[in-house]
Chains A and B, each alone.
Chain A
Amino acid sequence: MLYTNLKHIESAAEHAKILGENGNVMVICGRMGPMCIPVYGIAEDLEDEYKHVKFCDLEFDNPASSVIRSLPEVRGFMGIPFTIYYKNGKVVKATSSIQSRPQVTTILDQVFGVPVNA
């Protein structure tokens, strides 16, 4: 179980529904470990600023995580979290392991655009 304040994705159907309803989605697929927690923390922090992005998490050990673990973009990844950025349902960027806030915001700005009030 992920004890974050992010929207939890519990099933493949829910994953598909979120991608269908939101143009810009970031999904962090991980565990409650030292590499993943900082990325959840950054996402929680950015939710207010990046209102045009839907931030979610998905437990790595949940069978539903196959929707992420089977992506060609994560082939070769050997560190969690697997963080996937979706634009209109398509993967536009994927990262492996811990990321810093500047690394995350650089990607968000590039793939989803800078927040209007930034």
Chain B
Amino acid sequence: MESKNHFDTIVIGAGPAGLTAGIYLSRARLKTLILNEGTVGGQMVLTHEIANYPGVESISGYQLANIMKKQAKNFGCNIIANIVIENIEIEGEVKSVTLSDGRSFTAESVILTPGGRSRTLGMPGEDIFKGKGISYCATCDGDFFTDKEIVVVGGGNSALEEAVSLTKYASKVTIVHQFDHFQAFEFAIEEARNHPKINFIMESTITSFYGSENLGSVDIKNLKTGLTTNFKTDGVFIFIGYIPNIEFISGLIEMNKWGEILVKPDMSTNIEGVYAAGDSIAKRYRQVTTAVADGTVAALAASNFVHEIKTKRKNLIPA
């Protein structure tokens, strides 16, 4: 099959797993396209310093991602970032991906490396007050809340550690958490519990955000009693974990109950010609190094698959 928009392999996601797959596939002279919904580099670009990547003493995640991107491009890999995938078809011999802007691409094989993203509450007003009272990053925006009263949403390590860190700026921090217990490590819970500026509202969730120019209050619903009360606050920091970016393949591929893609040791999935790698697969450890390793294995397996398909097709053509 020859067409400008037909590729040997389409890699979906440009984090360390996807970029590594792109490097290996392109270097093996396979026509490769990486499609990425967000910033090239994935979660890696958000890491201030990577000091345990073998062979590199210390580097920012952004710089490492840029080098990987350059490597992939230098080998001829096509990369299209900041797109939205409208439709994907992975059953059958030819796989296809359609973008929201109407562009469509086909391939012999697909490697899924969609990674994950920060979870949002998705409640009314969240989008309006983002950057005007609602934040997802204490290091970025903490100083805007000096001497102000704020809310932190979440109960994991990030939420509790960031709540403590925000006490450097805020006069009062109220942690709102949906359960009656925290999921964080004991030391993080203890530090938050013992902090004089931190209060807790348990078994509750924010259901709405209000304000004029900036955020002024939130509705907090007690999940046990069902009672909703309006709570005045200058800011809300949301730390409710990450979710795998798997919506576009939901129902198309075998996953576990946490929405993680199930793969075999060669990173193949239950669909022939479809591989997965990186943070979106079911595995215990999620590091840049493990993503790079997964991406390598997936690329080699996909490369082998494409080679076999092409050989098979060639043999079917009568001489």
Interface residues in chain A, defined as those with a beta carbon under 8 Å from any beta carbon in chain B: 3-5, 30-38, 40-42, 45, 76-80, 95-98, 101
Complexed CA–CA distance, A33 and B53 (Å): 20
Report yes or no: A78 in contact with B82, Cβ–Cβ below 8 A. Answer: no
Complexed CA–CA distance, A42 and B81 (Å): 8
Query: B124 interface residue, CB < 8 Å from A?
Result: no
How many pairs, one residue from A and one from B, have CB atoms within 8 Å of each other in the complex? 85
Chain A residue, CB-CB nearest to B80: A45
Stretch at the interface among B125-133, B177-185, B297-305: B125-133
Report yes or no: B137 in contact with A41, Cβ–Cβ below 8 A. Answer: no
Report yes or no: A3 in contact with B62, Cβ–Cβ below 8 A. Answer: yes
Complexed CA–CA distance, A42 and B41 (Å): 12
Query: B116 interface residue, CB < 8 Å from A?
Result: no
Complexed CA–CA distance, A65 and B134 (Å): 22
**Residues in chain B near residue A41, CB distance under 8 A:** 38-41, 45, 81-82
Partner of B62 from the list A30, A32, A45, A76 (CB cut-off 8 Å) is A32
Report yes or no: B131 in contact with A97, Cβ–Cβ below 8 A. Answer: yes
Shortest CB–CB separation between residue A12 and chain B, in angstroms?
21
Chain A residue, CB-CB nearest to B235: A78
Query: B63 interface residue, CB < 8 Å from A?
Result: yes
Partner of B144 from the list A30, A34, A37, A78 (CB cut-off 8 Å) is A78
Chain B residue, CB-CB nearest to A104: B82
Report yes or no: A35 in contact with B39, Cβ–Cβ below 8 A. Answer: no
Partner of B131 from the list A31, A33, A95 (CB cut-off 8 Å) is A95
Interface residues in chain B, defined as those with a beta carbon under 8 Å from any beta carbon in chain A: 38-41, 45-46, 48, 60, 62-63, 66, 81-83, 118, 130-137, 139-141, 144-145, 213-214, 235
Shortest CB–CB separation between residue B52 and chain A, in angstroms?
19
Partner of B140 from the list A3, A34, A76 (CB cut-off 8 Å) is A34
**Could you list some 24 contacts between A and B, CB below 8 A?**
A3-B63, A31-B140, A32-B48, A33-B46, A33-B140, A34-B46, A34-B140, A35-B131, A35-B137, A37-B45, A37-B46, A38-B38, A38-B39, A41-B40, A41-B82, A45-B82, A76-B132, A77-B144, A78-B214, A78-B235, A79-B141, A79-B144, A95-B131, A97-B130
A45-B81 CB under 8 A given contacts A5-B66, A78-B141: yes
Chain B residue, CB-CB nearest to A82: B131
19 extra interface residue pairs, beta carbon distance < 8 Å, beyond A33-B46, A41-B41, A79-B141: A3-B60, A3-B63, A31-B139, A32-B62, A33-B139, A35-B135, A37-B39, A41-B39, A41-B40, A41-B45, A42-B39, A45-B81, A76-B213, A77-B132, A78-B135, A79-B134, A79-B135, A98-B131, A101-B82
**Residues in chain A near residue B60, CB distance under 8 A:** 3, 32
Report yes or no: A98 in contact with B130, Cβ–Cβ below 8 A. Answer: yes
Shortest CB–CB separation between residue B161 and chain A, in angstroms?
15
In the A-B complex, the 8 residue pairs with the smallest Cβ-Cβ separation, listed nearest first, are: A97-B131, A79-B131, A96-B131, A41-B39, A101-B82, A33-B140, A78-B144, A34-B46
Shortest CB–CB separation between residue A70 and chain B, in angstroms?
15
**Residues in chain B near residue A101, CB distance under 8 A:** 82-83
A76-B214 CB under 8 A given contacts A32-B60, A36-B140, A97-B130: yes
A80-B46 CB under 8 A given contacts A41-B38, A45-B81: no
Chain A residue, CB-CB nearest to B38: A38
A80-B82 CB under 8 A given contacts A32-B48, A34-B46, A42-B39: no
Shortest CB–CB separation between residue B139 and chain A, in angstroms?
6
Chain A residue, CB-CB nearest to B66: A5
Shortest CB–CB separation between residue A94 and chain B, in angstroms?
11
Shortest CB–CB separation between residue B121 and chain A, in angstroms?
15
